[in-house]
A = this chain, B = another copy of it.
Amino acid sequence: MDAQSIKVACSNCNLRELCLPMGLNSAEMSKLDDVISTRRRVKRGAALFSTGERFTSLYAVRSGFFKTCVTTADGRDQVTGFQMTGEIIGLDGIVSDHHSCDAIALEDAEVCVMPFDQVEELSREFTTLQHHVHKIMSREIVRDHSVMLLLGSMRADERLAAFLLNLVQRLHARGFSQSELILRMTREEIGSYLGMKLETVSRTFSKFVEDGIIDVKQRYVHIKSTEGLKEIVNSQNCR
């Protein structure tokens, strides 16, 4: 395992308004600094953790991009999410003290390690932190429900449109463009997340290009009409 430790502090991290420390005052923040004292680098393609590994910590993405995926005994595989800067990974491990999915870096990445017992200890002390931890978990549940909606009731083009809108929205919240993005994942990974085959993903991209809604050049995507994408999502294309 290519772990590497670096001294680190939330209090002067530029992600603090997006990440775990959100809303903490400076006294609380300095306590948190004591808890989150290490970072870990993860090379592209490597696992931050794998299914079955003992759960000890949550991780905040400091830089880079991750996917999480569950795998069944019979080799089926489902991407359950993509995580970018400031997002929290590892919540799946709490219930059984073992991780129930793999977290894979899609590009060289760095995470802040947050030992969960210490997070729990601190959140008994600070209401703000406690509440924030609860919100993070609840947010994940709500997100999962919207993915279920997508997988259960949407057509291929609606799924991809919703996916793109969600990605740029999150990137925009991090100061990136509202209309341009670089996909960090392959067509196959997008397909796994959206419950469709990579060929269908590719074809659907091509259709969007034909319709003049987006430009695509490999991993680069330029959204020419956000409205166009929104119309597709709400097109009630039936099914």
Contact = CB atoms under 8 A, between A and B. Distances in A.
A131 interface: yes
Contact of A141 (B76, B141, B146): B141
Given A100-B142, A137-B141, A234-B73, A149 B95 contact: no
Interface string A47-79: 000000000000000000000001011111110
A153 interface: yes
A186 to B, nearest CB: 16
B149 A148 contact: no
Interface stretch (A86-94, A174-182, A198-206): A86-94
B76 A145 contact: no
Interface in A70-127: 70, 72-78, 80, 91-96, 100-101, 120, 123-125, 127
A192 interface: yes
Most buried by B among A75, A92, A94, A145: A145
Main SS class of interface, A: helix
A132 B100 CA distance: 18
Contacts of A149: 70, 72, 76, 78, 80
Given A120-B127, A151-B152, A153-B195, 8 more contacts: A78-B153, A92-B145, A95-B141, A120-B131, A134-B137, A137-B138, A151-B195, A152-B192
14 contacts: A72-B149, A76-B236, A78-B152, A78-B153, A91-B137, A91-B141, A94-B134, A95-B135, A95-B141, A100-B142, A123-B124, A148-B151, A151-B151, A153-B192
